């Protein structure tokens, strides 16, 4: 039968063993944390912080016809430089009170850091229509087809885009609205200047639509974009600001 002193010795050795195991686990966790931190810069190379400003001007020229012009400078590379500029006039025909079909043209100048600048000419068609309401939340959709041509390239790239937009009043009729939308982009074919058939990108936005004056609204928002590409995908976090004027 073990003496009391031997029992004490066994208990002390057990405590020392448990402490040693605990220290080993702590050291292992520390090494894992250092490993994750060390890996972060490599992952960060595929992320970018950007700032996009969209200026929208729309005028009703007839009972069933509107003209719209969009201008959008996009600041890229940690919002330090003008990486892209878009100019887009379009004309819309109101099929019904809440459904409008648009035909438009877009000029896109893209100036990346690691590749030559490109100029793109884009023809697009889209329809905006109501989906329905869930309580106080109104849901609309925009379905768009784009025919994209880059100067100096041969192929025509066709892209399909589907957006669902939900908005809810935060008070009375003239109060701000909470806005949430999601949009998926899908390339319908390969092109010699870069696009590959399949999912191209996915955007998700949350913001507030604030009326400033009659027909004038401002929408500050956070926009999250995933760009799918061979190798590593790119994740863009974007401070979005939309200023729209309807007259």
Whole-number pLDDT of residue 172: 84
Q: Residue 79, exposed/middle/buried by CB under 10 A (0-12, 13-18, 19+)? A: middle
Please give the mean pLDDT across all residues of the chain. Answer: 86
Whole-number pLDDT of residue 68: 98
Q: What's the count of helices (H) and strands (E) in the chain, helices before strands?
A: 1, 11
DSSP state of 98: S
Residue-wise DSSP of 144-161: EEEEEEETT----EEEEE
| Contact criterion met (CB below 8 Å) for 87 and 55 | no
Q: Which helix (H) or strand (E) holds 10?
A: helix 4-44
83 φ/ψ angles, rounded to the nearest 5 degrees: -90, -20
Query: Which tens digits make up the pLDDT trace of 219-242?
Result: 999 999 999 988 889 999 999 999
Q: Which portions of the chain are predicted below pLDDT 70?
A: 1-45
Cα-Cα end-to-end distance for the chain: 98
Whole-number pLDDT of residue 92: 98
Whole-number pLDDT of residue 191: 97
Tokens describing residue 120: 């793109």
Kind of pairing between the strands at 65-76 and 47-62: antiparallel
| Contact criterion met (CB below 8 Å) for 241 and 53 | yes
Give the Cα separation of 89 and 93 in Å (integer). 14
């Amino acid at each position: 039968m073990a003496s009391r002193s031997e029992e004490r010795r066994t208990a002390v050795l057990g405590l020392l063993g448990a402490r040693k195991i605990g220290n080993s686990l702590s050291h292992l966790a520390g090494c894992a944390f250092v490993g994750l931190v060390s890996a972060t810069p490599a992952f960060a190379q595929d992320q970018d912080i950007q700032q996009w400003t969209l200026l929208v001007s729309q005028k009703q020229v007839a009972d069933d016809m509107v003209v719209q012009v969009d201008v959008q400078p996009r600041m890229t590379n940690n919002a330090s430089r003008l990486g892209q500029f878009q100019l887009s006039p379009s004309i819309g025909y109101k099929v019904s009170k809440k459904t409008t079909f648009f035909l438009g043209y877009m000029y896109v100048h893209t100036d990346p850091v690691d590749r030559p600048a490109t100029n793109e000419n884009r023809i697009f068609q889209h329809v905006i229509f109501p989906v329905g309401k869930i309580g106080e939340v109104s849901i609309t959709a925009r379905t768009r087809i784009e025919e994209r041509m880059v100067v100096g390239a041969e192929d025509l790239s066709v892209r399909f885009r589907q957006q669902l937009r939900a908005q809810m009043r935060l008070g009375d009729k003239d109060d701000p609205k909470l806005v949430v939308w999601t949009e998926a982009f899908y390339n319908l074919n390969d092109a010699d200047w870069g696009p590959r058939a399949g999912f191209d990108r996915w955007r998700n936005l949350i913001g507030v639509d604030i009326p400033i004056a009659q027909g004038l609204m401002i929408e500050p928002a956070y926009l999250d974009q995933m760009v799918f590409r061979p190798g590593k995908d790119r994740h863009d976090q974007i401070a979005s600001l939309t200023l729209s004027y309807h007259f």
